[in-house]
Structure 1
Amino acid sequence: MRQGKEKDFVMVYLDIVSGFLGAGKTTFANLLLDFYIRAGERPVYIVNEYGEAALDAEIIKAEGFTAVEMTNGCICCTLRGEMTRALAGLIEQFSPTRVVFEPSGVFMFHNFFDILENKDLKGKCAVGNIVTVIDGVNYVSARLEFGNFIYNQIESAPVLAVSKLDKAPEGLDLTELLCDVKNVNSNAAVVTKPYAEYTDEMLSELFLGKSDLYGHGEVCGCAACGHHDGEGHDHDHEHDHDHEHAHGHEHDHDHEQHDHAHHHEELDTVTVEMNRDFDEAALATFIDAVVSGALGEVARAKGIVFLHGKSQLLNITFKERELRPFPCYDKPAMTFIGKGLCREKIEEWGKPGA
């Protein structure tokens, strides 16, 4: 764990950074971890990845933070016991003041919070902040196919952070996104700034409760809502969360089922070893196969591939793709999540000389 200023504490606060597949949760979690260090906190990170590969934890570890990964399942159902053990172990070993938890992209909130009622956690760990990251580029496409996950995450978070605004096409209109989000959760603070423009003052207001900004409208500078940095808002929002946040706000939210079924059965997940060394042409053909639907309806593909013998992080969200160098990694693999995935075709791409 990277060391911040030492301080006594009574309770460890669990912050949840949720968001659908590929929304930018890990980037936001990294931003939040860095902020907490500067603020004198002692943060650690837990990530739950729906597939078998544990890349997000490796990304955070590369930044110098303590990170624990839980893979091949979802924390809100199959991995609940593992989450309890992981939290208790982190608290015992590292004495953190904050745990930043990134659940899988298909996480749904109902029935999650009773984890903290476990005898090993009760009185030691409480819910801190909850933020849902919303994909500013792919929201509309994702909502049409996977709205049950996305709406559950949006309605459960007091803070909504719109991501990828630095990558958005010129002239991107957020009006539809913002109207949709406000219809789902009118009480939330909606942040529509690129991550690079998040200041410590703004993060303190949102996550350390040092002003009344928390939960009061947009914190933005976008043309879609016409407000800037929280100015000009006359919102009278009440929060209904059934927990007390670390920043001292009390919320009375009733975490009911919201008539949602847990729809993980709608999704396929395939993790394959990528045992081939790509050149540019072969890698471009592979990426085209993913985004064209030739391998199934892929909502997210993420993993490590070799390009001319060097490890690269490949990240595909719907038709968006990103490729960047990754520190030397000896376990090249990719996880695909979507509907109607063709395992045989995906596995073929991972074979040497395919």
Structure 2
Amino acid sequence: MQAYVYPAMFALFVWWFSTGAIIFLDNLPRKTFKYSMVGATIVSLSCLYGLKITATQTSLVSAYEAFFFGLFAWGWQEISFYMGYVTGTRNEPCPEGCSGWKHFGHAVETSLFHEVAIILSACAIFILTHHEPNQIGMWTFMVLWWMHQSAKLNVFFGVRNLNEEFLPEHLTFLKSFLKSKPMNLFFPISITVSMVIATMLFEHAASATSAFERSGDTFLGTMMALAILEHWFLVIPLPAGKLWKWGLASRKPSKAFDVEIVAGFLGAGKTTFMTRRLNDLGALPGKTVVLVNDFASVGLDGSLLNNQGADVVELPNGCICCSLRDDLSRQLEDTVSRFAPDRVLIEPSGVADIASLIGVMQRPPLLPFVRALKITTIIDAGAFLEDYAKLPAHFAAQAKLASTLIINKADVVSATERTMVAETLRRLNPAVAIVTARYGHIDPEPLPQARIALVHDNAASDEVPHECDDHCSHAGHTHHGHDTHDHHEQHHEHHHNHAASDLGFTSWNTELHTHCNADALQAVLDGIVGGKFGAIARVKGLAKSGNGWLHFDVAGGRASMTAFAASSDEQARVVAIGKNIHESELAAAFLACDVKLAA
């Protein structure tokens, strides 16, 4: 048994460690790349020489050496690509609306030279080892090539876990060629091919008559088994990327940046304000990065903020409560390390705990780099009276922490009501600047530049007042289920996220797989406003309609629909947030909306 276990464990460790080491090197400052590249080239040339020497040997040691040389010869291909030295003729995102073979052609262009380098290296290894008894190194290289090509095609066609966080900042344009979906048709083919090859290799290892053959076949069989596992990690909902999180330790913030948090209750108009804010910031020098934190497991606001001149990072499924502070801290640290922004805008969910978010900014890894922190809180003038009556403590906490309070949707209430809202907020925070706005546009005066200075006290960095009881949203308390409805051969998956916030809200979401009739969709939204499907505080979604797209919304007891310019890989979906949501009835209503058009 040891004759098989030792080679398998050796292959597993070398594969895992070398992958993490490459990630570590690729995320060091770019000024180090030339040294890493020189070192990788020397190692690769040494491995090619080692493959030539071991090709004539059939001892157990030579089997280990040939496998090692083949794997590290492949490492040069990965380092040269991810450091940007050997890539392709294209280094920019795919244009909006590009699809089909043209989209595929652009994807090929991004790594054309890289693929040519792989072919040339494979030819060199073949020439060095052909007609010799030890072919382990060559076949190791070929197996890694198969793993590489198959994984690339799968993330292009669409998988659940894209692991975009491992892309260095200079290769973030590749995100436009990655597609997020549960699975693609090529996936079962790649899994089947890998399983057949792995089975054949292990069977050959079991019948081998020498230690050299047993080890060699076990090495290759293990690599094919890892290819299968790696592919399953692309589609199953597991954080497989954590296997190499240690490789990201080389990412560190490199310069100071400003932070602006745009807070507000569900439907207050945060995303609309963010769109206008990004438009204003576009005229300023420097880079802007946006972090969007949706309460539901399916994020939507990120799609609405794309193409606004800033990099958008989505953080779905959380209210930034106490259990998520570590995740948010790591995500923010990783984001500023990758993008080196001059400013970071954060749009937390409508039920987020802003005190915890401030606490994240005061943690030691980030505190030295945060120049200033500004908190802008959006208030829905039309829904304020009802919302405040239900959640006075929530609004009091947000008002007291705000640098600026914006009374949005001021045009839907009377002057008396606007004054009432302003006076209520002023009592909660007498020192805060209060302005009014319509559709997120500040009126009549510009947004004040008041800021909150951070206290540079590492010892107290985590001591931010925050109450968290059993009703807080914890990652471990999030449940996902699937209901599949078959109607006219259309399959609709409904994903239920029952993460309850400390305000008692739950969320529900589903994908909309067919076109929606606008009138039918409006009827569903009107039913939501009327309480037909439970006490729903917020609905937002994207739907295909005719030859275009609709962005629909329910907030503050009002429903709206507008045209939407969707990207080529956009997914039609809807998210509802509230209490006592009648999930089955709501799902049936959206399904009927689809069916009406089909009829």
Query: What range is the shorter-chain TM-score in?
Result: 0.7 to 0.9
**Equivalent residues in 2 for 1:93-108 (5 A)?**
93-108=338-353
**Which of 266, 279, 290 is equivalent to 1:34?**
279
Aligned pair partner of 2:588 in 341, 348, 354: 348
Q: Residue 62 and residue 53 in structure 1: after superposition, are their counterparts in 2 closer, same or farther (change >3 A)?
A: farther
Q: CA deviation at 1:113?
A: 2.5
**Count of equivalent residues:** 304
Q: Which aligned pairs between 1:109-188 and structure 2 lie closer than 5 A?
A: 109-166=354-411, 168-169=412-413, 173-188=417-432
TM-score, structure 2 length as denominator? 0.47
Aligned-partner residue type, residue 320 of structure 2: I
Work out whether residues 46 and 99 of structure 1, in 8 Å CA contact, stay in contact via their aligned partners in 2. Answer: yes
Q: Residue 243 of structure 1: which of 454, 474, 490 is its match? A: 454
Worse-matched range after superposition: 272-281 or 294-303: 272-281
Task: Measure how far apart 1:10 and its partner are.
Answer: 4.9
Q: Does the 8 Å CA contact 2:258/2:342 hold for their aligned counterparts?
A: yes
After TM superposition, which residue ranges in structure 1, 4 or more long, deviate above 6 angstroms?
258-261
CA deviation vs aligned residue, 1:33-88 (integer Å, no higher than 9, x gap): 23233233422111100012322111211323210010011123343233222222
In structure 2, relative to structure 1, the CA distance for the partners of 1:273 and 1:81 (3 Å cut) is: same
Q: Which runs of 5+ in 2 are unaligned?
A: 1-253, 457-462, 473-500
- The answer on 1:69 being equivalent to 2:314 is yes
In structure 2, which of residues 417, 430, 433 is the aligned counterpart of residue 189 of structure 1? 433
Deviation at 1:280, TM superposition (A): 3.5
- How many angstroms apart in 2 are the aligned matches of 1:169 and 1:181? 16
Deviation at residue 126 of structure 1 after TM alignment: 4.9
What displacement does 1:309 show? 4.9
Instruction: List per-residue Cα deviations over 1:131-185 (Å, max 9, x = no partner).
Output: 101112211122222333222211210210111224x156663122112111111
What is the CA–CA distance in structure 1 between the aligned matches of 2:465 and 2:534, rounded to whole Å? 34
Match of 2:270 in 1: 25
Match of 2:512 among 265, 274, 282: 274
Following the alignment from structure 1 to structure 2, what is the Cα–Cα distance between the partners of residues 244 and 295? 46
Q: State the Cα deviation string for residues 274-307 of structure 1 (Å, max 9, x = none).
A: 2343324312321121111111001100011233
CA RMSD of aligned residues (A): 2.9
Q: 1:19 Cα shift?
A: 0.4
The match for 1:229 is: none
Structure 1 letter corresponding to 2:274: A
Amino acid corresponding to residue 513 of structure 2 in structure 1: N
Q: Determine the C-alpha separation between the residues in 2 that align with 1:102 and 1:274.
A: 25
- Equivalent position to 2:565, from 309, 327, 339: 327
Alignment-derived partner of residue 257 in structure 2: 12
Alpha carbons 2:382, 2:556 under 8 Å: kept:
no
Change (3 A) 1:144 1:197: closer
Show CA shifts across 1:11-35 (max 9, x none).
Answer: 2121111000111111222222232
Instruction: Give, in angstroms, the shift of residue 123 of structure 1.
Output: 1.4
The residue aligned with 1:297 is 535
Matched-pair contact (CA < 8 Å) for 2:291–2:344: yes
Q: Aligned partners of 1:154 and 1:120: how far apart in 2?
A: 28
Listed as ranges, the matches of 1:193-204 within 5 Å are 193-194=437-438, 195-197=440-442, 202-203=446-447
State the TM-score, normalizing by the size of structure 1: 0.77
Specify the code of the residue in structure 1 equivalent to 2:358.
F
Name the counterpart of 1:337: 577
The code of the aligned residue for 1:345 comes to E
Contact 2:279 / 2:308 at 8 angstroms: preserved in 1?
no
Counterparts of 1:69 and 1:259, CA distance in 2: 24
CA contact (8 A) 1:17 1:103 kept: yes
Bigger fraction of residues in helix: 2
Assess if the C-alpha contact under 8 Å between 1:274 and 1:349 holds in 2.
Answer: no
Change (3 A) 1:171 1:188: closer
Q: How much does 1:107 deviate?
A: 1.1
Task: Structure 1: state its 5+ residue gaps.
Answer: 1-8, 208-213, 216-240, 246-253
Residues 129, 333 of structure 1: alpha-carbon distance in 2 compared, 3 angstrom cutoff: same
Within 5 Å, give how 1:51-70 maps onto structure 2.
51-70=296-315
Contact 2:468 2:502 (C-alpha < 8 Å) held by counterparts: no
List per-residue Cα deviations over 1:192-216 (Å, max 9, x = no partner).
24344558x834xx23xxxxxx48x
Are residues 91 and 280 of structure 1, via their aligned partners in 2, closer, same or farther at CA, if it must alter by over 3 Å? closer
Which range moves more in the overlay, 268-277 or 95-104? 268-277
Q: Which amino acid aligns with 1:332?
A: A
Shift in Å at residue 100 of structure 1? 0.6
| 2:93 equivalent in structure 1 | none
Equivalent residue letter for 1:152 = A
Instruction: Name the structure with the higher strand share.
Output: 1
